[in-house]
Amino acid sequence: MQVRYILREGFSGFKRAKLSMFAAVITVSISLLLLSSFTILLINANSVIESLRDKVEMEAFLEDGLRNDEVEAIEKRVLAVTGVREVRFISKEEAARIFEEEFGEDIYRVLDFNPLPASVKIYLIDGYKTAAAAASVYDDVKQIRGVEDVIYRKALLEMLDQRAKTFLWGALGIGLFITISSIFLVANTIRLAIYAKRKIIQSMKLIGATRSFIRTPFIVEGLVQGCVGGLFASGVVFVLFNYLEQWLSVPMSDFVRVEVFAYGLIVGVGCLLGFLGSVLSIRRFIGESVVS
């Protein structure tokens, strides 16, 4: 009987205050739509940034005339540098083949000799594909005897670090604003429901009803608002991002790809917003007395 009463009262807002309930659900839906869309774009943009980081390689050019044992010793020392995952030796002959593949010219037809130096390709571990970390690896490798020069795409890493930081702070700011707005909207709707039932609440207190018995229907009402808003938002996200993924080109479609679990997460966040909003309103407006 108690559970039936709580559920009936929790869903009664759809009949009792249709307009405010509809406004709350729509606003929560819009908030979740904005929040989820921005989050999806942020996550996918971060994935693209990480894929660009994976393509950044470091190359150490070796001095001419080194013996095989000296080259092997350099490889071992480079591999021992903190942040280095793997190394690969490129001989002068292989460098000439790479030059021909990239530029379509045989180096021996242009010149009578091969001026390209032997080198060691350096692959970094994931945590060292940032500008600051790569710079530390660069300094360590540059000091190894037999290494003439070290090159890597420093400007690209610095740009990626800056963009990643901008995305992060932007996401935190916008996400916080949307979340707080949603919580206070649900709280305001629950407050109106509490005020409309203020006399009933007073009567229930007089006959000895517990606080949890009085508060639980309003928590259920907040959860219902959040859940319905989350379902609506996840449906819009599904339609919108599936359309965009088909419409955009292949490289750009990576920015709008949505994993299946994201839809359940949107509904879950909606329920959480509804719960927090109802709890906030209940703690503020259901105390020892309700204004008549």
Domain boundary among the residues 152, 177, 209 is at 152
Q: What is the pTM of this model?
A: 0.57
Tell me the two tokens of residue 265: 């997460």
* CATH at 94: 3.30.70.3040
The region of weakest confidence among 66-70, 227-231, 281-285 is 281-285
Q: Are 231 and 90 in the same domain? A: no
Q: Residue 170 is which amino acid?
A: G
Between 154 and 114, whose confidence is greater? Answer: 154
> pLDDT by residue (tens digit) across 221-253?
778 878 888 888 888 888 887 777 777 655 556
The region of weakest confidence among 73-77, 141-145, 287-291 is 287-291
Q: Are 230 and 247 in the same domain? A: yes
Specify the pLDDT at position 255: 60
**Residue from 143, 152, 139, 171 nearest 37 by CA:** 171
Domain boundary among the residues 125, 152, 179 is at 152
* Residue 249: inside a domain: yes
How many separate domains does the chain show?
Answer: 2
The top-scoring range by mean pLDDT among 32-36, 63-67, 92-96, 142-146 is: 142-146
| C-alpha distance across the termini of the chain, in Å | 28
Domain boundary among the residues 106, 131, 152 is at 152
Specify the pLDDT at position 1: 44
Rounded to whole angstroms, the Cα distance separating 10 from 4 reads 10
Q: What percent of the chain has pLDDT over 70?
A: 78
Say whether 80 sits in a helix, a strand or coil. Answer: coil
Specify the pLDDT at position 140: 92
Rounded to whole angstroms, the Cα distance separating 89 from 279 reads 63
Q: Are 271 and 185 in the same domain? A: yes
- Does the pLDDT value for residue 181 go beyond 80? no
Give the CA dihedral 227, 228, 230, 236, nearest 10 degrees: 160
